[in-house]
């Protein structure tokens, strides 16, 4: 198993800072779960729990991945404002008996339409090819999530498969090194 180095948890792109998630991020992240129609794309709309509890559950999973020394999402910070704007990074997945590295991103609605998701995706594709012994990366995207499909295409990916994951029908977009 490929383990992330310490530098995975402290990175930057042109406009973004990526750092390890802390449970203190939960209050800011909880706004993702309020009046956000894209929740259905990440599989949280069926969770009938308060937004703060959803945020804590999500972040707790990432903190557990970090403690287990596996890849997981990082906090995404806008360099210009120093504000938390979402989560993203690389998650190791077992898809159809194959180990894959998924580029993931979920940003707060106030950060949409600014190119942050594309910048993040390009950054982590480059990171994966330079630092992980992998020949390809994927993004699993809800079939109705046109914005994330556009990000995947801008990241040089093309649709390579379909899968039912977490009770959702998803496209798998992939790119080789």
pLDDT, one tens digit per residue, over 3-51 is 898 899 999 999 999 999 999 999 999 999 998 888 778 876 566 789 9
pLDDT grade, residue 144 (50/70/90)? very high
Q: From residue 68, how far is each of 89, 105, 138 by CA, in Å? A: 16, 21, 22
Backbone angles phi and psi of 47, in degrees to 5? -75, 115
Q: What is the pLDDT of residue 100?
A: 95
Q: What is the pLDDT of residue 47?
A: 62
**Residue 136: alpha-carbon gap to chain centroid:** 16
- pLDDT tens string 44-97: 656 678 999 999 999 999 999 999 999 999 999 999 999 999 999 999 999 988
Q: What is the pLDDT of residue 6?
A: 87
CB half-sphere exposure, 63, CA atoms < 13 A: 12
Backbone angles phi and psi of 121, in degrees to 5? -60, -45
Mean pLDDT in the chain?
93
pLDDT of 1 above 90: no
Summarize the confidence of residues 147-155 as an average pLDDT.
97
pLDDT of 148 above 70: yes
Summarize the confidence of residues 154-159 as an average pLDDT.
97
Cβ proximity of 166 and 42 under 8 Å: no
Topology annotation, domain 6-134: Aminopeptidase (3.40.630)
């Amino acid at each position: 198993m490929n383990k992330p180095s310490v530098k995975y948890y402290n990175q930057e792109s042109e406009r973004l800072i990526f750092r390890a998630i802390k449970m203190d991020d939960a209050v800011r992240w909880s706004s993702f779960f309020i009046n956000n129609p894209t929740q259905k794309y990440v599989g949280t709309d069926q969770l009938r729990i308060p937004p703060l509890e959803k945020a804590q559950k999500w972040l707790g999973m990432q903190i557990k991945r970090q403690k287990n020394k596996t890849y997981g999402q990082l906090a995404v910070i806008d360099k210009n404002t120093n504000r938390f704007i979402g989560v993203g990074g690389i998650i190791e997945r077992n898809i159809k008996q194959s180990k894959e590295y998924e580029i993931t991103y979920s940003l707060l609605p106030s950060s949409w339409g600014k190119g942050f998701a594309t910048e993040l995706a390009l950054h982590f594709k480059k990171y994966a090819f330079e630092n992980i012994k992998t020949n390809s990366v994927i993004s699993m995207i809800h079939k109705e999530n046109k914005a994330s499909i556009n990000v995947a295409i801008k990241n040089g990916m093309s649709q390579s498969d379909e899968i039912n994951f977490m009770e959702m029908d998803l496209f798998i977009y992939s790119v080789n090194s």
